[in-house]
Structure 1
Amino acid sequence: MRRMEIARRTKIMLVVFLVSIGVLALLYWRTSRAAYESAKYVVVRSEGDFEIRDYAAMVLAETPLAGGEAGRDGSFLRLFRFITGANEARQKLAMTTPVLIDAEPSGGRMSFVLPAEVGLPQVARPADPSVSLRGVEPTRYAALRFPGSISEKRQDVAYARLLELLKERGLEARSGPRFAYYDPPWTPPFLRRNEVLVRIADSEPSTSSPH
């Protein structure tokens, strides 16, 4: 009888454990990049972590970065307040990925990509004058993925490596770096999807499927 009771309790504990893992996995999925719409693009060439992509037209909500670690100057909250109703029509827009950071000597910009079904004329004017809207035409980018949390050192290393890869392939960057971050801050660094992108010329046809 004692063995049967131990076996029964072990079975119950195993079921509880498996259910807990399932719940945690569901919560992670719902709060990770898998739960959000992403900027649309087609892969033209793929070589490991390096890709050439054709991005579809998009609308960006953007705000200046004051320098330092991205988001700690309030830039992320300004954009988040805008998409959650801080605009003339109290319009609410879905969060998407990635969050974009354009590095510039003056401090740069942070941008949210607005949902694909929302055109620029349909977006309400931001209540905060430091938030602006901009339509972007279809553009070709070279992209390089890299792991880890946000840091200037990782960004510099990734950008330098991307420029090396372009040079090796006879391609030329036509813009400064744009960093794309796909994951919420609680994602373990080794699981994060980060990218650095630069604009390049349309030098070869697109043949791959969209993302």
Structure 2
Amino acid sequence: MGSVVGKITVETPKYEVIQSTADYEIRKYSSSVIAEVTYDPAQFKGDKDGGFGLLANYIGALGNPQNSKPEKIAMTAPVITKTSEKIAMTAPVVTKSGGEGEGLNELVTMQFILPFKYAKAEEAPKPVDERVVIKDEGERKFGVVRFNGVASDDVVKGKVENLKKCLERDGYKVIGEYELGRYNPPWTLPPFRTNEVMIPVE
């Protein structure tokens, strides 16, 4: 999935650039098949990337593929992560943010985009681990900003806020939460890492 100096040598998603500005691109992504896992980082000692191993096992990146065939599936880029609020099944629901507990009420969804040869979810091998879900992702439109370096929480937050402002300034309607796309493995030197913040627009 790439090298120490950040060369991207794997399959990446197909998209069409609808508009390009100094601040961002508006892209229309083709439909794709994704493997995803949603988890509470607390299950992985607070590691937000804890789901990576489950997806890597499914495609066989870390050894024998953990799928029904078993079939080795090529790694693609980017690896996509998004967070959502954990919804408690109690009443009343009290949400506190800030302080030590910040971020602890979030669930993380991590996605691998499967190679183009899988046109529909049912064509992809079935995961052995039921936490891994295979699904079809329809055509979607995003406002996207690309940046290099480490995609730390603070950096990403700044990019998201700025991108939202720019999109709203230019009349785009934001229709969902942001996604973070990371194109390189952890061993890539930070200055050579490629990341993208993607916000769905109408």
Normalised by the size of structure 1, how large is the TM-score?
0.76
Work out the CA distance in 2 between the residues paired with 1:165 and 1:96. 29
Q: Deviations over 1:49-103 (max 9, x none)?
A: 51000000001100113234432x2x10100000111011111110000000012
Partner of 1:113: 113
- Percent identity over the alignment is 28
Indicate if the aligned counterparts of 1:61 and 1:111 stay in contact, CA closer than 8 A: yes
Identify unmatched segments of 5+ residues in structure 2: 87-106
Query: Are 2:6 and 2:189, in contact at CA under 8 Å, matched by a contact in 1?
Result: no
For the Cα contact (< 8 Å) 2:181–2:196, is it kept in 1?
Answer: yes
**Taking structure 1 as reference, are residues 69 and 143 closer, same or farther at Cα in structure 2, changes over 3 Å only?**
farther
Relative to its length, the structure with more helix (as a share) is 1
Shift of 1:168: 1.3
- Structure 1: 5+ residue stretches without partners: 1-26, 202-211
* Residue of structure 2 equivalent to 1:39: 13
Quick check: 1:62 aligned with 2:40? no
Partners of 2:40 and 2:117 in 1: CA distance: 31
Instruction: Give 2:93's aligned residue.
Output: none
> Which structure has the higher relative contact order (CA within 8 Å, separation 6+)?
2
Residue of 67, 83, 97 corresponding to 1:87: 67
**CA contact under 8 A between 1:98 and 1:181: conserved in structure 2?**
yes
Q: Secondary structure at the match of 1:96?
A: coil
Shift of 1:151: 1.7
Instruction: Find out whether 1:182 has 2:183 as its counterpart.
Output: yes
RMSD (Å), alpha carbons: 1.8
TM-score by length of 2: 0.79
Take 2:168 and 2:113, find their aligned partners in 1: how far apart are those partners? 29
Question: C-alpha distance in 1, partners of 2:14/2:197?
Answer: 16
Residue type at the aligned position of 1:63: V
Larger deviation, residues 78-87 vs 180-189: 180-189
Which is higher, the Rg of structure 1 or of structure 2? 1
Q: Matched residues in 1 for 2:39 and 2:182: separation? A: 15
